Amino acid sequence: MWRGHIVNMDIREFSDLYNDFLFLGPLAGINLTAISGKDDFFSRQIIDSVLPFEKSNIITTLLLSGEYAVVDIGFGGGFPIIPLAFSFPAISFFGIEAKQKKVLAVEKIISHFNLRNVRLFADRLENIFFDQKLIILSKGVSTIEKMLKGTFAASNVYVYFYKGPNLDSLEKFDSILGQWEIVEDLFLDIPGTNGRRFVGFKKRDVPRGTKAKKNLVKFSELI
């Protein structure tokens, strides 16, 4: 029988049960991730989701203020939002995913582990105006330039990207630095990988009439 969240479960036990739920449980066959081996899953999905978030001095400071929530854009099979929600139960996490099928699948994971600090929405990034104090995360979704150009946000919004170590040779994002500034750029060793770049941006300003012109939904109204 599949059971809910176990009190005092450590992160490795959580990882193994998460893996079982994806590949042996009700979600088997949906293909939410191609990383099936438990050791690889632990390092490349769980640790890779949590470690960059933990190591960011800016994110730590923002969360300690008690004023910021976290939004995961395009969470796919639940990464990084599910490992983060498990690791930081006192923080509010919101997930936005364009594909309703993935939203429904990840909601089953949330229910299975009894994660009460997560809410998911089926919507697109470019439909929303982020009008609150938020940390937005993107793991493997689009390029930095494309995503930031489609992110309409207030000046107290931060956006962090999980990227590979060769980011500089793959992406150019000079064109968005007028509205966004780089505030943090970390390189982290992740077992079983070539390493992780975790790059953070902060919104510089809010163009007047953005919401009215784009007919966007306020994030505060969505939640």
Structure confidence by residue, pLDDT tens digits, 13-26: 999 999 999 999 98
Whether residue 1 lies inside any domain: the answer is no
Residue 104 lies in a domain: yes
Spatial distance between the Cα atoms of 110 and 50, rounded to a whole number of angstroms: 17
Evaluate whether residue 164 is within a structural domain.
yes
Using 50, 70 and 90 to split pLDDT, how confident is the model at 6?
Answer: very low
Stretch 66-79: mean pLDDT: 95
Whether 207 maps to a domain, the answer reads yes
pTM above 0.85, yes or no: yes
Residues 116, 147: Cα–Cα separation, whole Å = 28
The enclosing domain of 80 has a CATH number of: 3.40.50.150
- On whether residue 113 sits in a domain, the answer given is yes
Q: How many domains, in total, are found in the chain?
A: 1
pLDDT tens readout for residues 198-212? 999 999 876 565 655
pLDDT digits (tens, 9 = 90+) for 98-110: 999 999 999 999 9
Domain of 174, in residue numbers: 11-222
193 part of a folded domain: yes
With respect to residue 55, please indicate whether it lies within any of the assigned structural domains: yes
Asked if residue 2 is part of any domain, the answer here is no
